[in-house]
């Protein structure tokens, strides 16, 4: 799995950080997403998919083939 984030789209809702704090964080100065782990391990895949699905700005992309 390969995860990418779009900082331009991000609206700082923080859903991804609440769900998968090992994969996503928010910048201290404006709350915009920071990707901590672009290739999360297997056990995190479900929550990462969920984070992508519920992101209100559709700023998270998950490539399952990678």
Partner 1 sequence: MSQGDVQQTLSYPIPSEAALEPPAEWARLRQKCPVAKVQLPSGDEAKLVTRYDDVKQVLADPRFTRQLTADDAARLTDSESGGVFNSEMSKIIPDHGEGHLRWRRLVGKWFTAKRMAALRPQMAAIAEQLIDEMVERGQPADLKASLGFPLPVYVICDMLGVPADDRDRFSRWSDMLLNLTRYTGEESTAAQVEFFTYMSGHVAAKRAEPGDDLLSELIKQSAVEGEGLSDMELLATGIGLLVAGHETTANMIGKMVSMLLADRTRWEALLADPSLVRTAVEESLRFDANSGFGLPRYLPEEAEVGGTVLPRGTTVICNMAAANRDDGAFENAGEMDLRRSPNPHLAFGSGAHSCLGQSLARTELQVVLEVLLRRLPTLELAVPVDDLQRVEGLIVGGLREVPVRW
Q: Does 44 bind partner 1 (CB under 8 A)?
A: no
Q: Is 49 in the site for partner 1 (CB under 8 A)?
A: yes
Cα–Cα distance measured from residue 4 to residue 10, given in angstroms and rounded to the nearest whole number: 12
Interface with partner 1, residue 45, by CB under 8 A: no
Q: Is 21 in the site for partner 1 (CB under 8 A)?
A: yes
- Measured distance CA(36)–CA(12) in Å, rounded: 15
Give buried/exposed letters for 17-28 (b at 16+ CB in 10 A, else e).
Answer: bebbeebbbbee
Candidates 4, 31, 41, 61; binder of partner 1 (CB under 8 A) is 31
With binding defined as CB under 8 A, does residue 32 bind partner 1?
A: yes
């Amino acid at each position: 799995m390969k995860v990418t984030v779009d900082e331009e789209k991000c609206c700082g809702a923080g859903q991804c950080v609440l769900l998968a704090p090992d994969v996503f964080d928010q910048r201290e100065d404006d709350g915009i997403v920071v990707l901590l782990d672009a290739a999360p391990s297997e056990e995190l895949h479900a929550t990462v998919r969920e984070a992508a699905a519920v992101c209100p700005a559709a700023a998270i992309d998950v490539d399952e083939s990678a």
